[in-house]
Amino acid sequence: MASTAVPTNTHIDPSSGGDYRVPLAVVTMLFFMWGFLTCLNDILVPHLKAVFDLTYTQVMLIQFTFFTAYFVMSIPSGKVINAVGYQKGIVIGLVTAGIGTFLFYPAASVPSYPLFLTALFVLASGITLLQVAANPYVAVLGRPETASSRLNLTQAFNSLGTTVAPFFGGLLILGGAQALSPQEEAASVQMPYVGLGIALLVLAFAMAKFRLPVIATVEDHHAKSGKLSDALKHRHLVLGAAAIFVYVGAEVSIGSFLVNFLGQTEIAGLEEAAAAGFVSYYWGGAMIGRFVGSAMLQKVNPGKLLGIFALVASALVFATVGLTGQAAMWTILAVGLFNSIMFPTIFTLGIDGLGRLTSQGSSVLIMAIVGGAVIPLLQGALADAYGIQTAFLLPAVCYLYIVYYGFAGSRHQ
């Protein structure tokens, strides 16, 4: 494998139009893995809610803990990458995430909800390091004008991970759980997460042996990169961070509540394991949309396409609030299709033109993923007070801000 890649001591200017297909394929595996791990939270939410008899607000601490790690660990992750480079940073991130998955075993043995949250924080810390390293690496691994298209393509494989994860989780974690005792239900997460931990360590070993190219325009600036405050002077970056905040918050909120929402008698009345299968339609739509969007972004202005997709997503969520039965089920599942291009497009628009500040800009945008911690918690409080369906008004409003960013906020001053 290593012999087909560019040696690590080779510095490449991405604008030269070199062949980056092999290193791009290698890094794309990371996008699949962290998508899979992140989406399993949507299965943990209904599972641990039943195990520990939690309210919606309490169970949303799963997402709060997971995505708070992005905020807490993003800047330290950027410093790690500046110190050791992108490839070693990726290896460290994979090992850290692996440790987090292994911590699920003692958490389920007790069982202890705080220990589950601790395991999730460690797991998410590793994924944060992967995100801070891999997103900007892919963005500069080729010509600047195709950065949005390239990142959408790799994010499509992230969505492949989020698509298969609900089937995996529904089968191994939720399947037959109703017939078990609370302690047995908690223990059902042990072997799936141990297996994932082993896979992460194997991937870390393979990544350490593979020789990824060093991108001159990024890696060479480690020693002379600017300050975080310099990056924050760029208006399109700051507004992009806000867009990432509300986008991740909206996407995670919808995914987190789908199993319980589809279980309501006035919507679909599905059992948890069956509802988990339909969650894959939500994430599968994002996967299809990213493959299609990657092609569309070759010809359509990224900001305009982002604005259009966000407008449709908002309309679908507002429709879900007002509908019942199959209509409400399919309108909320269809949102996934229009979520598709949002994260990678916002990300590339946010770091566009930052040059030596790309690493700092990336850290700011990854920090903004904390929206996945805050907004689901707020939606949980709304669900406890007014019901799940009414609570979907919150993500509907979030998408309206992304409409603004796509059409206006992403423009450079």
Is residue 7 one of the residues assigned to a domain?
A: no
Q: What is the CATH number of the domain that holds 308?
A: 1.20.1250.20
Is residue 319 one of the residues assigned to a domain?
A: yes
pTM of the predicted structure, to 2 decimals = 0.82
DSSP per-residue codes, 177-222? GGGS-HHHHHHTTHHHHHHHHHHHHHHHHHHHHS-PPEEHHHHTTT
Backbone angles phi, psi at 302, to 5 degrees: -55, -40
Half-sphere exposure of 411 (CA within 13 A, CB side): 7
Which range marks the domain in which residue 271 is found? 13-409
- For 223, other C-beta atoms within 10 Å of its C-beta total 7
Task: Identify the sign of the CA torsion 317, 320, 326, 329.
Answer: positive
Is residue 112 one of the residues assigned to a domain?
A: yes
**Number of domains composing the chain:** 1
Greatest CA separation found in the chain? 61
Is residue 22 one of the residues assigned to a domain?
A: yes
Question: Nearest to residue 248, comparing CAs of 347, 363, 150, 101?
Answer: 347
Is residue 57 one of the residues assigned to a domain?
A: yes
Is residue 327 one of the residues assigned to a domain?
A: yes
pLDDT, one tens digit for every residue, the chain (413 residues): 232 232 233 344 544 445 677 778 888 888 899 999 999 999 999 989 988 999 999 999 999 999 999 899 988 888 888 888 888 999 999 999 999 999 999 999 999 999 999 999 999 999 999 988 887 778 777 777 777 678 777 877 888 888 888 888 888 887 654 556 767 778 888 999 999 999 999 999 988 888 777 655 444 444 455 677 888 899 999 999 999 999 999 999 999 999 999 999 999 999 888 898 898 899 889 888 888 887 888 888 999 999 999 999 999 999 999 999 999 999 999 999 999 899 989 998 998 888 878 778 887 888 898 999 999 999 999 999 999 999 999 999 999 999 999 999 998 86
Is residue 4 one of the residues assigned to a domain?
A: no
DSSP per-residue codes, 253-273? HHHHHHHHHHTSTTTT---HH
Is residue 8 one of the residues assigned to a domain?
A: no
**123 burial via Cβ count (<10 Å: 0-12, 13-18, 19+):** buried
Q: How far is CA 135 from CA 27, 90, 130, 343, 357, in A?
A: 9, 11, 8, 10, 14
